[in-house]
Homo-oligomer: A and B are copies of this chain.
Amino acid sequence: MTRSPSVTGDELLASTAELVGIPSVSRHESVLADRAALELAACPWLEVTRVGDNVIARTCLGRRQRLLVGGHLDTVPPAANEVALVEDGAVWGLGACDMKGGLAVILDLAATCEAPAVDVTWCLYAREELARAENGLVELWSERPDLLDADAAVLCEPTDARVEAGCQGTLRAEVHLGGMRAHTARPSAGRNAIHRLAPLLTRVSTWSGRTVELGGCDFAEQLQAVCVSGGVAGNVVPDHAVLTLNHRFAPDHDAAAARTTVLDLADGLLEDGLGDRVLFVDEADGAPPALHHPLLAALVERSGRPPRGKLGWTDVATMWAHGIPATNFGPGDPLLAHHPDEHVTRESLARTHEVLGALLTFGTS
């Protein structure tokens, strides 16, 4: 059992800034994947496999348990924040929080934990910020499931070095409301589809979701309008309007139950004969907390803080769908993900590194 040499917070800041400096917007991860593969291949105790722009590095020490530690290589598109800036004890820039800070921790631990207490699968994957069909982890599960086999998994999504367990499901629905065109000078001859949005929007904006406690974690459900459109011409009563909703549901509900929630919301507002309908355009089940697993329970204990539920959807659900208990644990404030001012602090990087390093070094002991 080898304890990795201690890395300083400043060194993690510097390596995070370096990673921010390697652009990796979704579908353009290859340079960063090259760099990660090169660093990992320099460690003789790791078996490195490249599958497309995904990089997997595994120890094969014959340990009793295997932990997968994963993170995505891609970022969302820039918001005038491509250049990394180290200031006030933090790295600012695109992906600093989501999740190049996590990648910096992963790459340092992979390069230094030569003899961890559990076998480790380091998994760096592409296109997490896109639709599910493009996701690199989904690609790996399809192409090389053997590489992903593990007893438990930790995804280093931003949680500010706190265990955020499971994840909520997500559902997108389009509510289409119809009407009848008429000249705006004579609206009583028609039916205004945009006006028909009023009671629906009132319900959406005053909607109060369940807060569900699972495994000691609260999951607060959400419902947000994310798009609205409608209109024919400046002098025409419009006959069609669409409100797109995003519902985040607690992991005790599956997508079918979430669809019912949305249909209940629209109850009484849809009419026959106007073409009204609800279309479910995108959905993904969540995952319950799986902190009963000894490795994840040990992570909670070492983190020193009570776990909380993950409100955003993450690939924890992808792992769970393949039967692997997983949790989120990484540096960076989750509220800053995708934010123009995203950054990650020295403390958050160092704390994540310390907790995760200790888990690898000591396992469940």
Binding site for B on A (CB under 8 A): 168, 170, 172, 181-187, 189, 192, 194-199, 201-202, 204-205, 222, 224-238, 241, 243-244, 246, 248, 282, 311-313, 334-335, 337-339
Contact = CB atoms under 8 A, between A and B. Distances in A.
12 contacts: A172-B234, A183-B337, A184-B226, A185-B248, A185-B312, A185-B313, A198-B201, A225-B238, A226-B233, A228-B231, A229-B229, A229-B230
Which of A196, A230, A313 counts the most B-chain CB atoms under 10 A from its CB?
A: A230
Contacts of A192: 205, 224-225
Contacts of A226: 184, 194, 231-238
A206 to B, nearest CB: 8
Contact of A204 (B195, B238, B241): B195
A170 B232 CA distance: 17
Contact of A334 (B186, B205, B231): B186
A164 to B, nearest CB: 11
Contact of A246 (B186, B196, B199, B235): B235
Contacts of A197: 197, 201, 228
Contacts of A182: 335
Given A195-B205, A246-B184, A338-B183, A228 B230 contact: yes
B244 A231 contact: yes
A244 B234 contact: yes
Contacts of A337: 183
Contacts of A238: 225-227
Nearest to A207: B195
Contacts of A282: 234
A229 B248 CA distance: 23
